[in-house]
Structure 1
Amino acid sequence: MRKLIKNGTVVTAADIYEADVLIEDGKIAAIGTDLKSEGVEVIDATGRYLFPGGIDPHTHLDMPFGGTVTRDDFETGTVAAAFGGTTTIIDFCLTNKGEPLGNAIQTWHEKSKDKAVIDYSFHLMIGEMNDDVLRELPQVIHEEGITSFKVFMAYKNVFQADDGTLYRTLLAAKELGALVMVHAENGDVIDYLTRQALKEGNTDPIYHALTRPPEIEGEATGRACQLTGLANSQLYVVHVSCADAVEKITEARNKGLDVWGETCPQYLVLDRSYLERPNFEGAKYVWSPPLREKWHQDALWNALKNGQLQTIGSDQCSFDFKGQKELGRGDFTKIPNGGPTIEDRMSILFSEGVKQGRITLNQFVDITSTRIAKLFGLFPQKGTIAVGTDADIVIFDANVERVISRETHHMAVDYNAFEGMKVIGEPVSVLCRGEFVVRNRQFVGKAGYGSYLKRKKYGEDMKHQQDSIPVQ
């Protein structure tokens, strides 16, 4: 049935205006004032914002790690995402050296089949670069629509690739029209520092952070940027956590390099002291890169405001405290890395960003949706509210106050990283392709409704890439 959202305030990356929005066949059919309501379902959005559905470019659902598997799968994870205002996620296919890339992609299709309640796509991990991989990449792009490749510079002897692999991936991406993503930490130095800590009997969760100092992230970020320039390619640095990495990204962009940066809500509001919590509670906050000293938060907020960082991802990678995080009692290196963040990504950015005057409403939309759609080949189908786009719409109450808690969240995991945090602003209803997934704060979606999205090549429409939001 056609739907008409009336009296809302539409917010895009460029505009703010009051309007009615007509939805037909999953698309936005008209935007205007006093649109006729005969024969349509009317949804009153008076006093509420209409945001384009959030796009989370960084999730790990149903992912094996450290001898266990993330607690949230493609059903529970996307339900939680929807409650948080996200209507599209991009998850990571992990590959195994020596195996065809297609095997990994098929595995992730099987993980997600008939489960996702919102739309989704995949990035592909590149752990090695050889003739076999090079032969497969065009097929990955053309048949699967996967146009972003992830290279790990950390997790030695697990995911870490060498610099030669990163450089060859950058060269291949330039030729094929893909965006290279990096987890930028110096895995070799981390490995040394970790072994030294264990040798000295330092096994508590705080040593996860102390063996991965910000200089390690800054060095790897700078190295990845330099290799990108050398290859004349394009780079997206995931989960930037510190001023050191921001400085290297800014330096690269000032040189004219095609480099982009993402941060995550946890780095904007949590700090290293959380890893020192007693009774092994610090294990809940073990992820990589680690939480930093509190002063780094100002550098990240300023980078978002000034456009030095352009996106926010959740890096959702949830493990229960009981039975999973506890695997690392007595050895911090055995604590599964990751945290539950998919549901609160947009609320935290709105409450701590917009409401605190750190970013504008337009920047909020750009950071959570529009820029991501442009970088990852989904714009204009996703990422904005305009005639002809998918009707992915968040009806948002900007004034409601709530407390984030495990008791009320929708993730399957047994704790919330932001427990007790007060936020202002919350999605009331969320539509994906014109259908309610959340309505009046109640789940009304269906497992398997989410569609797999094949994405366009990076740079196919460069004017979309170069659009920028004026700094205000």
Structure 2
Amino acid sequence: MATFRAELVIRNASVFYAHRFTRVNLAIRSGKIIGVWEPTVAGPEAEEIFDASGLYCFPGFIDPHVHFGLQLGSENCSDDCATGSTSAVFGGITSVFNFTPVLTGAEDELAALYKEVSQSTERYRTNLFMHLTVAEPKISPKKLVELALRYKFRSIKVFTTYSSSGRMTSDGYLMDLFKATRGTPLVVMVHAENDAMIDFREKKLSSDGPVKASHLPYLRPTISEVEAALRVCLMVSEMGGRLYLAHISSGKTVTELYRHFSALLGKSIFIETCPHYLYFSDAFLKGERAARFTTCPPLRPEEERQELLKHFYAGRIHTIGSDHCPFASWVKEKYEDDYLHMPNGLAGVELGFVLLYNLLKSRENEISVEELARMFSSNVSTAFGMFPQKGSLLPGADADITLFDPNAEWKVTLDTLHGRNDYDPYEGLKMKGKVDSTIIGGKFVVRNKQWVSTRVS
């Protein structure tokens, strides 16, 4: 191969390259992958050689759904930008998508939002991308798309629910938004639940007495997700554009999506689910610690969790988002009899890949490590228009790399994690496999399971 000098060479790993595992070496310089070659071929000179024997080498994982620093009412998420992204890099995450505050106004408000987002970037240990979150803004969908592209957003986030808090976007606006994004790189991310169903049940429950965490599955039923998801898919099929369905919680929803829109799935419609929907059922909302497992949409009945697992094992889920948004146990528990004001959310950014890797290892004949890697890398970067710069190890791609030790054995405890919450829903689980090193822009952030950097430039 041509002679050149690399800053870093990674050797002897099992590399996920061009959608399959192979034995190649990687050369990195100036934050980019500049060479890929077989071990039998002489490589370039290097300032440093990292021996990755026994490790998987993946494109840096991308978490498309985190809520670092979120404030709900008077309560703050336990993890801010710094602590959340620190947890992320220990989970092999090299890029995250967080959310802007909800835009309801016009162009000057968006300019202020962009300035606020830009100033927060240096607090992250990962690469940062933001979903532009809107709620029926006072500008036309066409103007919104024009501004989103000007400020280099890759996605626009909308809600089909939360009318009571002013966050809902109407069907009419959403239809025109899909039309306006047609032919652009923007994707519309949708939190899909039927607002009228939820509002009716909220009022009914409130009139009957305290609304508890155990009421959550009744309050936000599966049918509200199924109906809203099918409705927005129908909009895309008619109006064009691209749709990213956030945090799909039930296997029933996925079944109906494939029944009616299979030709569009993975092309113009993408399905995201979260680790907690694959691990927990609504049985966890019935115990004395029910408040600790509240999230939105809620955990579903066991048969729906099993149905979701079947879709996961069949490779019908496109991406995995952690929806990382933990609140302290004492914060949640003080709203035990006032669920309508309880801040919802669970941790997951650090454990996402290893949790699903362990699901995979329990049924290896049904889903491959390659397919799981795509859910955390190339599928995400494709959905948000970043492939192959992100989500690949091709020459010229950003040198964001996750090195994973498949043989490490450990137990999830608060001491083994790096977030700031006082509990974790996965505490006590025994894991096989652990992220060994995380490289962002060609620089180690985590190396040999140890922190080696304070920030990413």
TM-score interval (norm. to shorter): over 0.9
Question: Which residue of the other structure, out of 270, 273, 276, is the alignment partner of 1:266?
Answer: 276
Q: Name the SS of the counterpart of 1:430 in structure 2.
A: strand
Q: Name the SS of the counterpart of 1:363 in structure 2.
A: helix
- TM-superposed CA distance for 1:401, in Å, is 1.6
Distance of aligned partners of 1:355 and 1:37 in 2 relative to their CA distance in 1, 3 Å threshold:
farther
Question: Which residue of the other structure, out of 63, 66, 69, is the alignment partner of 2:70?
Answer: 63
- TM-superposed CA distance for 1:313, in Å, is 0.6
Question: Which residue of the other structure, out of 22, 27, 34, is the alignment partner of 2:32?
Answer: 27
**Partner AA of 2:24 in structure 1:** A
User: Which digits, 9 at most, give the CA deviation of each residue in 1:172-194, with x for residues without a partner?
Assistant: 21154411111011122112212
Distance (Å, rounded) in 1 between the aligned partners of 2:104 and 2:25? 52
Preserved CA contact (<8 Å) 1:93 1:104: yes
| Matched pairs, number | 444
Q: TM-score, normalized by length of structure 1?
A: 0.89
Q: Which position in structure 2 is the counterpart of 1:3?
A: 8
More deviation in 225-234 or 367-376?
225-234
Distance of aligned partners of 1:443 and 1:285 in 2 relative to their CA distance in 1, 3 Å threshold:
same
Matched, 1:108 2:113: no
Matches within 5 A, 1:262-411: 262-278=272-288, 281-322=289-330, 324-357=331-364, 358-411=366-419
Matched, 1:89 2:96: yes
- TM-superposed CA distance for 1:195, in Å, is 2.3
What is the alpha-carbon root mean square deviation over aligned residues?
1.9
Distance (Å, rounded) in 1 between the aligned partners of 2:73 and 2:227? 26
Matches within 5 A, 1:452-463: none
- TM-superposed CA distance for 1:132, in Å, is 5.3
Distance (Å, rounded) in 1 between the aligned partners of 2:18 and 2:434? 19
Q: Which position in structure 1 is the counterpart of 2:23?
A: 18
Preserved CA contact (<8 Å) 1:127 1:165: no
Distance (Å, rounded) in 2 between the aligned partners of 1:237 and 1:256? 13
More deviation in 299-308 or 24-33?
299-308
Preserved CA contact (<8 Å) 1:95 1:104: no
Q: Which position in structure 2 is the counterpart of 1:439?
A: 447
Distance of aligned partners of 1:156 and 1:87 in 2 relative to their CA distance in 1, 3 Å threshold:
same
- TM-superposed CA distance for 1:355, in Å, is 4.7
Preserved CA contact (<8 Å) 2:13 2:24: yes
**Partner AA of 1:337 in structure 2:** N
Distance (Å, rounded) in 2 between the aligned partners of 1:240 and 1:21? 36
Q: Name the SS of the counterpart of 2:15 in structure 1.
A: strand
Preserved CA contact (<8 Å) 1:151 1:180: yes
Preserved CA contact (<8 Å) 1:55 1:368: yes
Distance of aligned partners of 1:105 and 1:355 in 2 relative to their CA distance in 1, 3 Å threshold:
farther
Preserved CA contact (<8 Å) 2:251 2:309: no
Which 5+ residue runs of structure 2 have no aligned equivalent?
1-5
More deviation in 391-400 or 290-299?
290-299
More deviation in 291-300 or 84-93?
291-300
Query: Sequence identity of aligned pairs in percent?
Result: 30
- TM-superposed CA distance for 1:326, in Å, is 3.1
Q: TM-score, normalized by length of structure 2?
A: 0.92
Distance of aligned partners of 1:54 and 1:193 in 2 relative to their CA distance in 1, 3 Å threshold:
same
Matched, 1:173 2:178: no
Distance of aligned partners of 1:97 and 1:131 in 2 relative to their CA distance in 1, 3 Å threshold:
closer
Distance (Å, rounded) in 2 between the aligned partners of 1:136 and 1:202? 40
Q: Which position in structure 2 is the counterpart of 1:205?
A: 213
